């Protein structure tokens, strides 16, 4: 229904932001990748990054 409305073949929707971050980051990042992450990122981004298996480098928030 949403894909039809947008005029695209397929799409995916998430009911909450936490799931969006925690589930999509591991889907697109993995071992051998580098994630640069703000130290004040939401816990959902931190969780998704850790689940991905990628190397994570955190930097101070300005």
Average of per-residue pLDDT across 4-25: 93
Say if pTM beats, i.e. exceeds, 0.85: no
CA dist list (Å): 18 to 3, 6, 9, 10, 44: 22, 24, 25, 22, 5
Name the percent of the chain lying above pLDDT 70.
Answer: 100
Residue showing tokens 């959902």: 44
The predicted-structure confidence for 16-34, as pLDDT tens digits, reads as follows 989 999 999 999 999 999 9
Asked whether residue 8 carries a pLDDT value surpassing 90, the answer given is yes
């Amino acid at each position: 229904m949403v894909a039809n409305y947008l005029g695209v073949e397929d799409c995916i929707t998430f009911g909450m932001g936490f799931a969006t971050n925690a589930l999509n980051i591991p889907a697109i990042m993995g071992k051998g990748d580098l994630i640069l992450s703000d130290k004040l990122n939401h816990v959902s981004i931190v969780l998704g990054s850790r689940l991905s298996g990628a190397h994570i480098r955190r930097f101070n928030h300005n």
